[in-house]
Amino acid sequence: MAGQTEESDTAREQTKAEQDVDQVRQRAARDQQRLDSGAVTSPKDLENLQKEIVSLAKRQGDLEDVVLEVMERRESVQERVAELTERVGAVQGRIDEATGRRNAASEEIDAETATVTKERAVVAGSVPADLLKLYDKLREQQGGIGAAKLYARTCQGCRQELAITELAEVRKAAPDTVVRCENCRRILVRTSDSGL
């Protein structure tokens, strides 16, 4: 995640800035020790040493300001990373929940498919082979629906009302005769609701 990379970068930047402050502090302490020891006796060297101590104190202050600024940025980044991590966790929780629901639904569908496949095999065994072959062919051509109920003079496959001449032919057909819709060519299933 980009936020974690930024946090890592600011952590390195903070460490480097703190090391710089420590180096300046150590150098200033050494210079102050030399000054206090009385080992430097030349007035010019003493003056230079005092100027360097003042300069190092200013440099230390500047570097401490940099450390503070980096710490503030790092804290801000850490807060953002924490917020994003929490959001990622929440999203992952929803993903896990949806995946569980999907898997459960898939198992239900698989079980239902197995049941329907068994039921179809039983029914298909009682249907004449030529009719089953026609049904399977129509099913393949018509997007999975090879037969449709004739309801109130309307084919439920294509939703078209049969013409008067078609209805007359369907009325005349024997109950065991296979009749088909003139519009979509599906096998028509006649019931008491067919409107004949």
* Residue 5 one-letter amino acid: T
Q: Count CA atoms closer than 13 A to 182's CA, side-chain side.
A: 12
Residue partners of 189: CB distance under 8 A and separation at least 6: 147, 148, 149, 150
How much is the pLDDT for 123?
Answer: 87
Which backbone phi and psi does 148 adopt, to 5 degrees?
A: -140, 150
Q: Which of 2, 19, 106 is nearest to 63 (CA)?
A: 19
Q: Where are the domains of the chain?
A: 2-108, 129-190
Grouped pLDDT means (10 residues each) for the chain, 196 residues: 76 85 87 80 81 86 86 88 91 96 96 94 89 91 91 92 90 90 92 83
How much is the pLDDT for 178?
Answer: 92
The token pair at 72 is: 């503030």
**Residue ranges in the chain assigned as alpha helix (H):** 2-37, 43-125, 129-141, 164-172
